[in-house]
Structure 1
Amino acid sequence: MKRRSFLAGLTGIGLVLVLAGCGFQLRGTGPGSTLTLGELALESAGGPTSALTREVTQELNSAGVTLSDQAPLRLNLGDEAFQERELTYGDAGTQERQLTLTVPWSLQRVADGAYLTSQEEVVVSGTFYTSSDQLLTRDDARNALKEELNREAARRLIDRLQVYQPESTGNAPAAPTASSS
């Protein structure tokens, strides 16, 4: 019994070392968990009360960004679109459905209106299970997944914004291009 516990502990320590050695870190805990943009204006097609706008605002605040209408950069969020499709066909009791959220966004310099990023998209999707005889449960599952997709889209948007570093003039240069190696 002691040998089994020792081997399990040794395996756990080895796994932690391997993950740390390859650069693994939990989301939001590493050096990239804050944005260096400092100040940002937010314009959303869904308005300030939409679920996505609230999630993006919360993520930006958590990343250390101050939202201000006088900021040198503006984050533009387009109309988010949900698309639902059925993955399970037939008369099966339980059906699997996929929900996909697409959010168009752009990053714009306010001073001259130049786009640093023009018409990018964040696309996230997830699945939920329903039954044809439980319509209320289907709506609850769909709404819960929509909330989760809004959170995930906001996180991915913050991840994409991390490539922008402000210059001394308060403007952010265009993101570095990926070089093929």
Structure 2
Amino acid sequence: MTRVGPVALQRLVACLLVVLLAGCGWQLRGTVGGGLADVPVQVTGDTGSRLGERVSSELANLGARVVSDAAQARLVVEVADASRSRRTVATDDRGFATEREVTYRLRFRVRPGGEAPPEATAGPLQTVTTRGAYPVDPDNLQASEAEEDALAADLRDDAIRLMLSRVARSL
């Protein structure tokens, strides 16, 4: 009788786990494509060119083909609006803000494009909200504004990723 060593047993268990997880459809988060690989997508909406460029860029990073005509698209991502707001969450004894919270909201809808299957329907208007806080230095407001702008850009990028995650799940 042949004896199986501990290294061989570990390799066998690892291989069985890989086969089991792959067989049940489990995937690592952040895998390339996210379900959008090679899918033709059009981005529409009157939200400013910078947001549209960021959405198109992120779609391209996920492997989607960004098209300019809805007839060539399988999906149309309609960005309804984007908004940014802030509120003071902490003050010092003089009443000056010491911490602020920034909220970024992105509202969108997914519609079928010309390449969509006939049974595809438009989805409801959805909202993605991201929040973050930053410290405020009452003596250096210019630095605080720069901090807010950097945080808002990060929140916008996070909101776009969350939106595209929902778009990928709608396929």
Both structures adopt the same fold (TM-score exceeding 0.5): yes
Match of 1:86 among 88, 94, 101: 88
Q: Deviations over 1:5-59 (max 9, x none)?
A: xxxxxxxxxxxxxxxx9x794x4237x6341571011102213x22x32221111
Aligned residues: 140
Whole-Å Cα distance in 1 between the matches of residues 124 and 158 of structure 2?
A: 21
What is the percentage of aligned positions where both structures have the same residue? Answer: 23
Q: Where do 5+ consecutive residues of structure 2 fail to align? A: 1-20
Q: Is the 8 A contact 1:106 1:115 kept in 2?
A: no
> Where does structure 1 differ by over 4 angstroms across 4 or more consecutive aligned residues?
none
Give the structure with higher Rg (CA): 2
TM-score scaled by structure 1? Answer: 0.67
**Alignment-derived partner of residue 75 in structure 1:** 77
**Alignment-derived partner of residue 108 in structure 1:** 111
What is the RMSD computed on CA atoms of the aligned residues?
Answer: 2.8
TM-score scaled by structure 2? Answer: 0.70
How many Å apart are 1:109 and its aligned residue?
1.9
- Opposite residue 40 of structure 1, the aligned amino acid is V
**Alignment-derived partner of residue 17 in structure 2:** none
Q: Give 1:1-181 correspondences, 5 Å limit.
A: 25=28, 27-29=29-31, 33-36=34-37, 38-47=39-48, 49-50=49-50, 52-68=51-67, 69=69, 70-91=72-93, 95-111=98-114, 115-165=121-171
How many Å apart are 1:106 and its aligned residue?
0.2
Whole-Å Cα distance in 1 between the matches of residues 126 and 31 of structure 2?
A: 26
The DSSP-based 3-state class of the residue aligned with 1:91 is: coil
- Opposite residue 61 of structure 2, the aligned amino acid is S
Q: Deviations over 1:106-133 (max 9, x none)?
A: 0112459x85212101111111111111
How many Å apart are 1:96 and its aligned residue?
1.2
| 1:94 to 1:160, Cα distance in 2 relative to 1, 3 A | same
| 1:37 to 1:125, Cα distance in 2 relative to 1, 3 A | farther
- Opposite residue 99 of structure 1, the aligned amino acid is V
Whole-Å Cα distance in 1 between the matches of residues 128 and 169 of structure 2?
A: 15
